[in-house]
Amino acid sequence: MKQTVGVVGASGIGKHHAKWYAMEGCEVAGFVGTCAESVERTRAAMTQIFDFRGRAYTDLKQMLAPQRLDAVSICSPHHLHREHTLACLEAGAHVLCEKPMAWDTGKSPEDLLADAASMISAAERAGRILAVNMQYVAAVEPYLALYDKHRGPLRAVERLDFRMESKGGAGGPNEYDEIWIDLASHPLSLMLRMLPGAVFVERSAACVIRRQEVVARFEMELPQGERVPVTIELRNVYEGAMARRFGANGFVVDLAGANDEHGIYRTHVSAEGERVQCEDLVHTSVRRFVEAVRGAGQPLVTAAEAYRNLELQLTLFAGARREQ
């Protein structure tokens, strides 16, 4: 049976959610944008990247009212994630929400965690799946394969290093706090997957927010008592390629993307002069979500994992020092 899906906020990453849904055999019934002009631009963009035949809306209720959607991707601005997620769950749809799970600069960390918890509770009451798109977790498997080939099995993580860059969104480059809000979920999701059961050592944390970069250093304590130092460097760049790299014990891989010979966008994982091609990370996240909706497995990142990610992101952010 073909699942019917919708997307809230399809001008950016949302149109790629829609593309991958279509590739996974779903019917993309519609999307929601902010105004008539923006939805027409988005409709044109979506028809260029896949055979989109759905409808465009400027109000979420309009998309949910005439039909029961099996699933919806929430790709709207951060401060609307809770509102849109709750509406879709109430309408009976499974939800894949973009990261961070909940964020509003006008709310306290406690209120934001309460918002995230309410989203999880709503999904449980509705008997629906709530997943969060933290696609970089999908890079762990190819990373471990490369590590094994060049260094042997990764038996113990002694340190983790992350460096990620972005050029900001449609409104311009990210600066100061926006860098952390936009990017921090990615390295934290990788860290949590590579250090299962580890506990954050809060007194070890040092986070500095500058105009074009945020650097966080802290330790995670493993169940056996060992501590693993973690370094996260996030930057805004104005031109050139964006760095997306991470690694354990000094074995660092670079992530990049390009179309393959069939015109399908893929992720490339590179290290030690070797490049491995794998499925696009967002594609993997969407595919795993669709499989979960169909009753076959778990999403790439569950809401519970995303909640833990948000806790760490907020804790480091709250203790950060700001510099010019």
Beta-bridge partners for 31: 7, 56
In angstroms, what is the C-alpha Rg of the chain?
A: 19
pLDDT of residue 137: 98
Express each pLDDT in 30-61 by its tens digit.
Answer: 999 999 899 999 999 999 999 999 999 999 99
Integer Cα distance of 291 and 28 in angstroms: 16
Beta-bridge partners for 218: 230
CATH superfamily, domain 135-322, is Dihydrodipicolinate Reductase; domain 2 (3.30.360.10)
Mean pLDDT throughout 296-324? 97
Q: Roughly how many angstroms between the first and final C-alpha of the chain, as a whole number?
A: 55
pLDDT of residue 174: 87
Express each pLDDT in 140-180 by its tens digit.
Answer: 999 999 999 999 999 999 999 999 999 876 566 789 999 99
What DSSP line would sit under 108-162, residue for residue?
A: -HHHHHHHHHHHHHHHHHHT--EEEE-GGGGGHHHHHHHHHHHH--------EEE
Integer Cα distance of 102 and 286 in angstroms: 19
Going edge to edge, which strands form the sheet with 265-271? 274-279, 265-271, 251-259, 244-248, 160-166, 227-236, 213-221, 199-209, 321-322
- Considering the entire predicted model, what is its pTM? 0.96
Integer Cα distance of 314 and 311 in angstroms: 5
Express each pLDDT in 186-212 by its tens digit.
Answer: 999 999 999 999 999 999 999 999 999
Q: What is the largest CA-CA distance in the chain?
A: 56
Fold of 4-128: Rossmann fold (3.40.50)
Any idea which residue has 């960390």 for tokens? 109
Closest of 228, 270, 226 to residue 251, by C-alpha? 270
What DSSP line would sit under 178-195, residue for residue?
A: HHHHHHTHHHHHHHHHHS
pLDDT of residue 239: 82
* pLDDT tier at 1, thresholds 50, 70, 90: confident
Express each pLDDT in 89-121 by its tens digit.
Answer: 999 999 999 999 999 999 999 999 999 999 999
Integer Cα distance of 286 and 98 in angstroms: 11
Integer Cα distance of 41 and 14 in angstroms: 13
Q: What percent of the chain is modeled with pLDDT above 70?
A: 99
Mean pLDDT of all residues in the chain? Answer: 95
Express each pLDDT in 226-247 by its tens digit.
Answer: 999 999 999 998 888 899 999 9
Q: Where are the domains of the chain?
A: 4-128, 135-322
Q: Which residue type is seen at 2?
A: K
Does residue 223 have a cis bond before it (omega within 30 degrees)?
no
pLDDT of residue 169: 65
Q: Which residue type is seen at 282?
A: V
* pLDDT tier at 276, thresholds 50, 70, 90: very high
Residues in the chain: 324
Integer Cα distance of 75 and 13 in angstroms: 7
Residue 3, token pair as written in the block: 């699942």
pLDDT of residue 103: 97
